[in-house]
């Protein structure tokens, strides 16, 4: 089921059009894929429940994302880098994700992801899904093991918003031709800035602050909205 909290003709008339090039940017964990990669890494490190608890609070906007990520990554210290192979083979694309990407490509759209997760897994997912753009965090490793630190700047809500704008500028398209999809509090700025912002199976606080939500349908629900076949409550 697709739900729109305040349906109106004006908002539908201003939707991005599939008849011109456009850009979709989405989150990765619990959006492009079903799982939260850092939670999977936590299970491997024997601290799964502890990390999952912090993840849930961060996605609800209860914790500063940078500090929450650093705290969780510190718990991964000592894991062999081969763990990324194991986690990659355990995660699954969300139902409808690959079909959505292929369908948008057929309409001359591009698709990107901005992830608070890690390049070590996201790079492979991007290749599998034929994504056009992607950004994620990178974990530091030494002697084949994680050090418990993140390399470089941490991907935040601001990074997600900046990426949406930068990729749209690179394509030479107006922001009105962009779509942003995510489930967590750190996705809200890009969701609110895009021509069409969608909360996908999102946390309650995100649903409350987003006009259009997908709570039951798969990711092809995004295409249904773009093509105008949308059930409104």
Say whether pLDDT at 133 is over 90.
yes
Q: What is the CATH number of the domain that holds 220?
A: 3.40.50.1000
Containing structural domain, residue 197: 2-35+93-226
29 is catalytic: yes
The whole-number pLDDT of residue 6 equals 38
105 and 21 in contact (C-beta within 8 Å)? Answer: no
* Position 52 in a domain: no
| Stated pTM of the model | 0.90
Q: Count how many Cα atoms sit within 13 Å of the Cα of residue 179 in the half-sphere of its side chain.
A: 30
Say whether pLDDT at 7 is over 80.
no
Q: How far is the C-alpha of 226 from the C-alpha of 233, rounded, in Å? A: 17
187 is catalytic: no
* Position 150 in a domain: yes
The strand ranges marked E within the chain are: 2-4, 23-26, 110-118, 133-142, 145-151, 178-182, 196-200, 212-214
The whole-chain average pLDDT of the chain stands at 91
- The catalytic residue among 29, 39, 183, 187 is 29
- If 0-12 CB within 10 Å is exposed, 13-18 middle and 19+ buried, where does residue 106 land? exposed
E strand or H helix that includes residue 124: helix 119-129
* Position 119 in a domain: yes
Write out pLDDT tens, residues 26-73. 999 999 999 999 999 999 999 999 998 888 888 888 888 899 999 999
Into how many domains does the chain fold?
1
């Amino acid at each position: 089921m697709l739900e729109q909290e305040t349906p109106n003709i004006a908002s539908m008339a201003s939707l991005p059009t599939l008849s011109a090039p456009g850009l979709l940017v989405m989150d990765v964990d619990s959006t492009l894929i079903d799982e939260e990669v850092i939670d999977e890494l936590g299970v491997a490190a024997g601290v799964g429940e502890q990390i999952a608890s912090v993840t849930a609070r961060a996605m609800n906007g209860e914790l500063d994302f940078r500090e929450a990520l650093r705290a969780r990554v510190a718990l991964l210290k000592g894991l062999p880098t081969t763990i990324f192979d194991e986690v990659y083979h355990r995660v699954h694309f969300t139902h409808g994700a690959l079909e959505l990407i292929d369908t948008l490509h057929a309409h001359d759209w591009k698709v990107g992801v901005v992830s608070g997760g890690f390049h070590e897994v996201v790079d492979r997912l991007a290749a599998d899904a034929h994504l056009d753009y992607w950004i994620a965090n990178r974990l530091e490793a030494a002697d084949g093991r994680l050090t418990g630190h993140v390399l470089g700047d941490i991907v935040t809500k601001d990074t997600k918003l900046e990426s949406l704008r930068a990729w749209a500028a690179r394509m030479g398209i107006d922001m009105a031709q962009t779509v942003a999809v995510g489930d967590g509090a750190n996705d809200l700025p890009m969701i609110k800035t895009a021509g069409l912002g969608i909360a996908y199976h999102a946390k309650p606080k995100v649903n409350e602050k987003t006009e259009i939500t997908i709570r039951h349908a798969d990711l092809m629900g995004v295409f249904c909205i773009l093509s105008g076949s949308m059930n409104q409550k």
